[in-house]
Amino acid sequence: MVVNCTLGAMSWGRLKLETVVSFKRSGAIVGADLPGRTVIGNYNVIGHHAVVGVKCQDLKYKQGDECFLHVGDHNDIREYCSIHRSVKSSDRTVIGDNNLIMGSCHIAHDCKIGNKNIFANNTLLAGHVVVEDYAHTAGAIVVHQFCHIGAHSFIGGGSVITQDVPKFMMVSGDRAELRGLNLEGLRRHGFSDIEIRGMRKAYQKIFMPNEVNSRSLDDRLAEVEKVIEISHFPAVTSMVQSIRESFQQKRRGICKFRNWAAS
């Protein structure tokens, strides 16, 4: 079924064909009889029996409140996925562009999903989760509400994420731990060998200190910023910033990491 749409509160609304074209497979439910709006962008595929833009499952939702979902362009939302609207009119659930959301994934209310992410089957995101760009999950993972998943990160299959995943990192396990940089993902997305070497040195200084009685995480982050041969890489600066931001107020900190030197 080909649909030309901005999705309203009740049904598919009509726009010019050259403006918006999306594909709604059989059995899919898009939108709901709720105050607010679901907006579907250009050239999305909504798979068989997917449920997109319906009421959230948060008990804080009050009957009659407006709630919103905005989906960007060129997303492939596969069969049996569920994507819910926001809890309140002051917020919205957002899906960016060019995401592959495989079968039976769930994106809860007020999530913010960036661009070019790949969510393998049964990736489950609780409310208010933020996923940046180019993140990749290996499937059957769950993410606690309010967690942030950094750009170019990789989450191993079956992981339980209860804290933030910094940019460029690879995590796995229950509860998930940092396992190093997402080296394969970085190479695939055009990071040069010299950039990756700089990021590896930064990672080692932050998470694999040589001292038996290593200094605090803040001290190690500050030390990386002083090392001229690695601190000039924008990716290293971005990594350090991503880690620091995870410890700001109302954030959950980062996934645990092993101190190999002390083990």
215 CB-contact burial (10 Å; exposed 0-12 / middle 13-18 / buried 19+): exposed
Per DSSP, helices labelled H in the chain are 183-188, 193-207, 217-226, 228-231, 234-245
How close are the terminal C-alpha atoms of the chain, in Å?
58
**Smallest Cα–Cα separation from 25: which of 103, 105, 124?**
103
Residue 154 bridge partners (DSSP):
136, 170
**Please, which residues have CB within 8 angstroms of residue 213's CB and are 6 or more apart in sequence?**
none
User: Which is catalytic among the residues 72, 127, 139, 185?
Assistant: 127
- 221: how many CB neighbours lie within 10 A of its CB? 18
Q: How far is the C-alpha of 167 from the C-alpha of 149, rounded, in Å?
A: 7
**Residue 103 is a catalytic residue:** no
User: Which is catalytic among the residues 84, 106, 109, 128?
Assistant: 109
Q: How far is the C-alpha of 23 from the C-alpha of 17, rounded, in Å?
A: 12
| Helix/strand/coil for 201 | helix
| Helix/strand/coil for 93 | strand
**Residue 109 is a catalytic residue:** yes
User: Which is catalytic among the residues 97, 110, 133, 164?
Assistant: 110
Q: Which residues form the catalytic set?
A: 109-110, 127
